[in-house]
Amino acid sequence: MKNIIIALLLSVFAFAKAYTQNIEGIATYQTQRHVEMKLDSSSGMTDEMHKSIQEQLRKQFQRKYDLTFKGSQALWQQQPEELAKPQAPSSGGMVITVSASKDVLFQDIAAKKYTQQSDLMGKLFLIEDKLEKPEWKLEKETKNIGQYTCFKATLEEEQEERSTEIVDGESKTVTKTTTRKITAWYTLDIPLSHGPDEFWGLPGLILEVNDGKLSMMCTKVVLNPKEPIAIVVPVKGKKVDQATYDETARKKSEELMERMQSNRKKGDGSMMTISIKG
C-alpha cells in the first residue's frame, strides 16, 4: 500500500512538472516610480512650476513592459513602442527628459542563473550571475486581479540608498541603509515562479508588486498563444558579474556628479534635488 501511494505521488509530481514546462505566454505590466522634488527658498521656482514638473515626471515614469515566459525561462523588457516615447515638454525653461530603459533581463530558474543586458551611460554591459531565491513569507490574504485569484506574499531586504544634492556648486552624497518592504500578489492559476523585473520565486506567476516606491501591475496575460514563444537570451555587452557592475555604476555616478559640479555657474546658491525612488 505504501509503495502504491509513493508511486501515485511521483506520478502527480511528474505530471505537474510536465504541465509547468509546457506553459508559455506573455504578461504585460504597467509600472510607476515615485519621484520626489525638494526645493529651497532660493530656487526661484513657483508652486505652479513645481507641480507641472512633478506631473511631467510622473507621466515619464509610467511605462509598459512585457514578461515573456516559457517553462522555467523568462525575458523582461520594455515594450518597443515605449522606447520611442517622446520627451516631456519644457516647463519654465526646463526640459524634463527621462531615458527609456533598454535593459533586457533573462532568467532561467531551473539553471538558477540570470543574464541582464544593461546600458550604463551609453556603454553596454552583460551581467551574468546566479539566482538567489528570495525568502518570501506567504500570507493568507487574497484578492482578485482581473480573472485571477491572487495570494499575498511579503519580503523584507536590506538595501543601500544614495541621494545627491548640489548646493552652492558643491555636491554632497549621502548613503544610508534601509529596509525595503515588498508586497507581491501571485496566482496559482499560472503555476510558474516568474514575475516582473527582478521579482520571482513564488508558487505562481506574480501579477502585482509594490514596495512603496515602485509599483508593477499586470494588465494583460496571454497564455499559450498561436505563435510559439521564443526566448532570445541577450548577448551584447561587456561580461561582468553583478558586484562588478554595481561598483562600476557607483563610480560612474560619482564622476557624473563631479562634472555637474565643475560645470555649475559660480554664485548660484539655489538647490534642487530630484529623487527617483525605486
Whether 6 is in a domain gets the answer: no
CA dist., res. 228 & res. 165, Å (int):
49
- Return all residues near 130 (Cβ < 8 A) that are at least 6 apart: 112, 113, 114
Q: Which three cell numbers stand for residue 136?
A: 518570501
Q: Is residue 114 part of a domain?
A: yes
What pLDDT, on a 0 to 100 scale, did the predictor assign at position 82? 63
pLDDT digits (tens, 9 = 90+) for 191-247: 999 999 999 999 999 999 999 889 999 999 999 999 999 999 999 999 999 999 999
Beta strand 238-240 pairing with 123-130:
parallel
**pLDDT score at 102:** 79
- For residue 61, tell me if it sits in a domain: yes
**How many structural domains comprise the chain?**
1
pLDDT at position 51, please? 67
- In whole angstroms, what is the distance from residue 128 CA to residue 208 CA? 26
Predicted TM-score of the model (pTM): 0.77
d(CA 26, CA 225): 8
Report yes or no on 235 lying in a domain: yes
- What the block records as the C-alpha cell of 246 is 554595481
Per-residue model confidence (pLDDT) at position 275: 47
Distance CA 142, CA 135 (A): 19
Structural domain includes residue 34: yes
In a domain, 9, yes or no: no
**Is 168 within the bounds of a domain?**
yes
The answer to whether 106 touches 75, Cβ cutoff 8 Å, is yes
Looking at residue 256, what is its pLDDT? 77
Domain that residue 235 falls in: 23-276
Q: Collect the ranges in the chain with pLDDT lower than 70.
A: 1-21, 35-46, 49-60, 82-101, 162-173, 260-278
- List b or e across 223-233, with b for residues whose CB sees 16 or more CB atoms inside 10 angstroms: eeeeeebeeee
1 found inside a domain: no
